[in-house]
Amino acid sequence: MSHPSRRVSRASILLCVALLCALVPVTGQAVACSCAGIPGPDTAAIFADAVFSGTVLDEGSVGERGGGGRKQRLGTGYRVFGVLVADVWKGAIPDTVFVRTAEQESACGYPVREGGKYLLFARGEGDELRTGLCSGNARLGELRDAWATLGPPPPDTSPEAADTHFVRSILTASESPNPSKLRVRSVEGLGEVVRLGPDAMRAEVAERLVELATDSDPSVRERALGALSRPLGEGLVSFDVVDRALRDPVDRVRVSAMRLVTHHDPDTERVLNVLEAALGDPSVSIRRGAVGLLGSPRPPHAIDLEVWLPRSRDLLLRALHDPVSAVQVTALSAVAECELPGPESLLDSVMAFLDAPEPYVRQTAFGAAAELATDSSDIFAIFGRATTDIDRDVRVAAVRGLGSYVRRTPSRSEEVLGVLEDFAQDSEPRVALAVVRTIGQLPPSPDVCAAIIRLLETDRGAFRRGFFFADPAWRAGVLELGPRMCALEYVEEFLLGVIEDDDDAPAAEYARDALDRYERERGSDSDR
């Protein structure tokens, strides 16, 4: 039978294990490559240093470089493949070129096959060309209509001339009546040019987008207005164009027009008038679009907050009482996203949704309540009710809401900690892990450290193991508060016990690294 005081010591030591592990680099698992929208050939060409097509000579397991035919094996983490160049759109490209990419697709490496014909977009120059999965590359047989926007290879492939050629090709494609898909893609390309393309052509492209905002194709109108929603400067978009779009018969076009007004109209009153009118529209998608924009206006410095705050809160309060639940949930999300203070009446309305029958509504409501709660709010009345909610994801949302609240109101850390200790008794691992991460957002203090020790004493494996994955910087901060406070005696004995525990291999690995680090630190202290 273990002695109670001994249990406390072992629990305390486990905290030390977690803290020490934070100081040891741990190799994580590979994370799949994620591209935020792979650009089309026209857009990719503008942002590349080299654009060319050709046949792959090898797949990159061995690269042949230099005139002497020397074979060079590749280093870990990347590979180089050779390409017999056919056509060049941009850059000074020799007949044969070598391109570097990451070795694994999970690291955004671009996969090629020997003998395959590709259109490639690369950065760098000379022997330093590099490309990736998100660069816009494609097999030649997959391009189809995209060739029309890229255009034929220009006679001058210097960067300046090539970029002008690409923009002209996109403009030409946008004027073609068919096919519609190609025109829509060209509008998206024009939007990228306005945002990041050659300065000399931005005004001309913006004028073309204004024309396309009245196109007969609703998809073209929608995307043209969306492209104009990006920063363009004064005077490029007249309110007459926007006013016409606000009366468009297609809902998604009207939503794009509302977004353009919200992000660029300098008259805050007029913006709010547009959104208020939309809240009375019979279309649910229009009402949801308006509510979403109320939660994501321009940055505070770009709007008149004295005008925006009271009216936007009144409009959100109105949206919370919309007869359609989808609009209500959008309003809850808008409240959670806007991160601006709101009146007590708005918090009261949000709290009414904490007991909604639909779990996803309750989840969203906890996020909204976290943004509206103040330093005088009853934290347990808001978040404590979720400890008995039957839906696990609702309980997780409440814990995350506590984290959001305490970031804004650190003076309430002690009360938040008390509610978190209740959540830590949850049998669901995801809830316990959410508690760990949320505690990691509390400023280090003796109270926090003592609470961690209490929680680590409990027989909640998910919480104890989850603590290993908490924020390393925060754990290091707790460690700096001093060994006495966290009772870090018996460290070696405990770590050795964890290492010998065959039933918990991950913990044993962490403990082994922690023991090595602890012994090095102890040696450094004795040398001083």
pLDDT in tens, 1-46: 333 333 333 333 333 333 223 223 333 333 467 776 666 777 788 8
254 pLDDT higher than 90: yes
Superfamily per CATH, domain 268-372: Leucine-rich Repeat Variant (1.25.10.10)
Q: Tell me the two tokens of residue 107.
A: 């690291």
Which residue's structure tokens are 């309305």? Answer: 349
Instruction: Give the rounded percent of residues in the chain with a pLDDT score beyond 90.
Output: 15
What are residue 84's DSSP bridge partners? 55, 96
What DSSP element (H or E) covers 360? helix 359-372
Q: Tell me the two tokens of residue 221.
A: 């109108």
Residue 298 has a pLDDT of 66
483 pLDDT higher than 50: no
Closest CA to 476 of 26, 13, 16, 25: 16
Of 2.40.50.120, 1.10.357.10, 3.40.50.720, 3.40.50.970, the CATH number of 49-134 is 2.40.50.120
What DSSP element (H or E) covers 240? helix 239-246
Residue 274 has a pLDDT of 93
Cα separation, 370 vs 332, in Å, equals 11
Closest CA to 19 of 524, 446, 513, 523: 513
The residues, any chain, with a CB within 8 Å of residue 65's CB and separated by 6 or more, are 72, 80, 98, 127
Number of residues that this document lists for the chain: 528
Confidence of residue 128 (pLDDT cuts 50, 70, 90): confident
Paired sense of beta strands 96-102 and 78-90, if any:
antiparallel
76 pLDDT higher than 60: no
Q: For the chain, give the mean pLDDT.
A: 74
Phi then psi for residue 385, to 5 deg, are -60, -25
Q: Tell me the two tokens of residue 284.
A: 């649910």
Q: Does the global pTM surpass 0.85?
A: no
Average pLDDT, stretch 251-258?
Answer: 94
Q: What angle do CA 23, 27, 32 make, to 5 degrees?
A: 135
pLDDT in tens, 314-338: 898 899 999 998 999 999 988 877 6
Q: Tell me the two tokens of residue 248.
A: 């468009």
Domain boundaries, the chain: 1-22+411-528, 49-134, 268-372
360 pLDDT higher than 80: yes
